[in-house]
Amino acid sequence: MTPITDAHLTAIDVAELPDLAELGELGTVTGVTLDRAVFDYTASIRFDWRLYRQDISGSIAHVRMLAVAVQDIMPPDDAVAIEAGLREVFSEIDRVRHRLVPIGEDIHSHVELRLRQVLEARFPGRGEDMGRRLHTARSRNDQVATDVRLWVREACVELVRAVCDLQDALIERAALHADAPFPGYTHIQNAQPVTWGHHLHAYVEMLRRDVVRFDAVWHAANILPLGSAALAGTSFPIRRDLVADTLGFSGISANSMDAVSDRDFAIEFASASSILIAHLSRFAEDITLWATSEFGLVRLSSRWAEGSSIMPQKRNPDAAELTRGKAGRVFGHLQHLLVMQKGLPMTYGRDLQDDKEALFDTARTVRGALRALTVATSSLEINRDRAASRASAGYSTATDLADYLVRCGVPFRTAYEVVKRLVMDRLADGRAFADMTSRELREYHPAFGDDALLATTVAASVASRDIPGGTAPNRVSLAVEHSRKHVGEVRLAWASRA
**343/409 with CB nearer ligand ARG:** 343
Residue 392 found at the interface with ligand ARG (CB under 6 A) = no
Residue 149 found at the interface with ligand ARG (CB under 6 A) = no
Catalytic member of 250, 302, 308, 438: 308
Candidate ranges 136-144, 267-275, 315-323, 440-448; the one touching ligand ARG (CB under 6 A): 136-144
**106/165 with CB nearer ligand ARG:** 106
Catalytic member of 187, 235, 293, 496: 187
Chosen residue from 140, 153, 279, 367 binding ligand ARG by CB under 6 A: 140
187 catalytic residue (yes or no): yes
**54/353 with CB nearer ligand ARG:** 353
Residue with the closest Cβ to ligand ARG?
353
3-state SS string for the chain: CCCCCCCCCCCCCCCCCCCHHHHCCCECCCCCCCCHHHHHHHCCHHHHHHHHHHHHHHHHHHHHHHHHHCCCCCCHHHHHHHHHHHHHHHHHHHHHHHHCCCCECCHHHHHHHHHHHHHHHHCCCCHHHHHHCCCCCCCHHHHHHHHHHHHHHHHHHHHHHHHHHHHHHHHHHHHHCCCCEEEEEECCEEEEEEEHHHHHHHHHHHHHHHHHHHHHHHHHHCEECCCCCCCCCCCCCCCHHHHHHHHCCCEECCCHHHHHHCCHHHHHHHHHHHHHHHHHHHHHHHHHHHCCCCCCCEECCCCCCECCCCCCCCCECHHHHHHHHHHHHHHHHHHHHHHHHHCCCCCCCHHHHHHHHHHHHHHHHHHHHHHHHHHHHHCCEECHHHHHHHHHHHHCCHHHHHHHHHHCCCCHHHHHHHHHHHHHHHHHHCCCHHHCCHHHHHCCCCCCCCCHHHHHCHHHHHHHCCCCCCCCHHHHHHHHHHHHHHHHHHHHHHHCCC
Residue 210 found at the interface with ligand ARG (CB under 6 A) = no
**148/418 with CB nearer ligand ARG:** 148
Kindly state the smallest distance separating residue 271's Cβ from ligand ARG, in Å.
21
Chosen residue from 63, 67, 134, 144 binding ligand ARG by CB under 6 A: 144
Kindly state the smallest distance separating residue 264's Cβ from ligand ARG, in Å.
16
Residues of this chain, 30-69, that bind ligand ARG according to CB under 6 A: 44, 48
Residues of this chain, 95-134, that bind ligand ARG according to CB under 6 A: 106, 108
Chosen residue from 288, 353, 365, 471 binding ligand ARG by CB under 6 A: 353
Kindly state the smallest distance separating residue 5's Cβ from ligand ARG, in Å.
25
Residue 397 found at the interface with ligand ARG (CB under 6 A) = no
Kindly state the smallest distance separating residue 71's Cβ from ligand ARG, in Å.
28
Candidate ranges 140-148, 240-248, 304-312, 488-496; the one touching ligand ARG (CB under 6 A): 140-148
308 catalytic residue (yes or no): yes
Residues of this chain, 320-349, that bind ligand ARG according to CB under 6 A: 348
Kindly state the smallest distance separating residue 140's Cβ from ligand ARG, in Å.
4
Chosen residue from 352, 387, 410, 487 binding ligand ARG by CB under 6 A: 352
- Which residues form the catalytic set? 187, 308
- List interacting residues with ligand ARG (CB under 6 A): 44, 48, 106, 108, 140-141, 144, 348, 350, 352-353
